[in-house]
C-alpha cells in the first residue's frame, strides 16, 4: 500500500506534469500570439514578441510552431528594416525556419515562410537579386500550394507579390486580384488545425481586393 501510494503519486505527478506542460505551452503560445496581434508594426514590440517565440521554441525543442512564428516575425522585420541589417535578419529567419522544418517536414505553412524569406532577401537589392531570390520565392509558393491545396496563404502572398510588382512587369491589380479572390475563397473554407496553428492573412487579402476595386 505504501509502495502503491508512492507509485500513484509519481504517476499522478507525471500525468499532471504532462498535461501541464502542454497547457503551459498552449497558454504561452496563445499569450504570445495575442501579444503579436497587438504589436502590429511597432518595431520594439515585434522584437519582444519574436524573442518570446524563440524562448518557447528553444525550451520546447520539439514544437515547430514557435519556430514558425519566430521566423515569420523575423521575415517581416527584415522586410521592414527592423532589428538590424536586413540580410542578417533574413538569415536569422532562415535559421529559425530550418529548425521548424527539421521537426515538421513538407509543411505548406513552413514553405510559405521560406518563400517570404526569399522575398525579403530579394527586396534588399531587387535589381541584382530578382533572378535568383525572386525565382526561388515563386518556386517555394508553388511548392506550398502543392503541399496543401487548401492553404490560402501561398495565394495571398502571390497576390501580394503581384500587387507590388509594376504593371509593366506583369504585376498590378489586374493579375493580383483573381489570385487574391482565390485566396479569399480558401480562407472562407479554411479551418485552422488548432487554436495556435497558423491562421493569418485574411485581412491583408481583403485589403488587396479592396484597394484593387
Question: Which residue, 83 or 152, is less far from another protein as judged by CB?
Answer: 83
Rounded Cα distance between 89 and 70, Å, is 11
Binding-site member from 14, 16, 18, 193 for another protein (CB under 8 A)? 16
| Residues 124-163 as x/- pattern, contact with another protein by CB under 8 A | xxxxxxxxx-xx-xxx------------------x--xx-
Question: Which residue, 134 or 201, is less far from another protein as judged by CB?
Answer: 134
| Residues 102-121 as x/- pattern, contact with another protein by CB under 8 A | -----------------x--
Residue 188 CB, nearest approach to another protein (Å):
25
Judge contact between 205 and 159, C-beta under 8 A. yes
111 CB neighbour count, 10 Å cutoff: 25
Chain positions 75 to 94 lying near another protein, rule: CB under 8 A, are: 83-85, 87-89, 92
Residue 110 CB, nearest approach to another protein (Å):
20
Question: Which residue, 82 or 110, is less far from another protein as judged by CB?
Answer: 82
Rounded Cα distance between 73 and 76, Å, is 5
Residue 191 CB, nearest approach to another protein (Å):
28
Residue 181 CB, nearest approach to another protein (Å):
17
Residue 186 CB, nearest approach to another protein (Å):
19
Q: How far is CA 203 from the centre of its chain?
A: 15
* CA dihedral sign, ordered 112, 30, 52, 35: positive
Judge contact between 100 and 75, C-beta under 8 A. no
| The C-alpha cell that represents 174 in the structure block | 489586374
Question: Which residue, 41 or 166, is less far from another protein as judged by CB?
Answer: 166
17: burial class by Cβ within 10 Å (0-12, 13-18, 19+)?
A: exposed
Rounded Cα distance between 188 and 196, Å, is 18
60 CB neighbour count, 10 Å cutoff: 18
45 CB neighbour count, 10 Å cutoff: 14
Question: Which residue, 83 or 201, is less far from another protein as judged by CB?
Answer: 83
> What does the binding site for another protein look like in residue numbers (CB under 8 A)?
4-5, 8-9, 11-13, 16, 24, 28, 44, 47-48, 51-52, 54-56, 58-59, 83-85, 87-89, 92, 119, 122, 124-132, 134-135, 137-139, 158, 161-162, 165-171, 175
Amino acid at each position: 500500500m505504501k509502495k502503491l501510494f508512492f507509485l500513484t503519486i509519481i504517476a499522478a505527478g507525471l500525468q499532471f506534469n504532462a498535461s501541464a506542460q502542454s497547457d503551459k505551452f498552449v497558454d504561452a503560445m496563445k499569450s504570445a500570439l495575442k501579444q503579436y496581434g497587438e504589436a502590429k508594426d511597432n518595431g520594439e514590440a515585434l522584437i519582444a514578441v519574436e524573442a518570446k517565440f524563440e524562448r518557447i521554441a528553444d525550451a520546447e525543442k520539439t514544437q515547430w510552431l514557435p519556430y514558425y512564428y519566430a521566423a515569420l516575425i523575423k521575415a517581416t522585420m527584415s522586410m521592414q528594416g527592423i532589428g538590424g541589417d536586413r540580410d542578417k535578419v533574413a538569415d536569422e529567419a532562415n535559421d529559425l525556419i530550418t529548425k521548424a522544418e527539421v521537426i515538421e517536414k513538407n509543411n505548406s505553412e513552413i514553405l510559405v515562410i521560406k518563400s517570404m524569406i526569399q522575398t525579403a532577401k530579394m527586396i534588399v537589392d531587387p535589381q541584382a537579386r530578382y533572378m535568383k531570390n525572386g525565382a526561388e520565392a515563386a518556386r517555394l509558393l508553388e511548392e506550398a500550394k502543392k503541399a496543401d491545396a487548401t492553404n490560402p496563404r501561398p495565394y495571398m502572398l502571390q497576390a501580394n507579390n503581384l500587387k507590388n510588382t509594376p504593371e509593366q512587369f506583369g504585376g498590378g491589380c489586374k493579375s493580383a486580384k483573381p489570385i487574391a479572390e482565390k485566396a479569399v475563397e480558401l480562407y472562407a473554407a479554411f479551418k485552422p488545425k488548432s487554436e495556435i496553428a497558423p491562421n493569418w492573412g485574411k485581412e491583408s487579402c481583403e485589403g488587396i481586393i479592396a484597394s484593387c476595386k
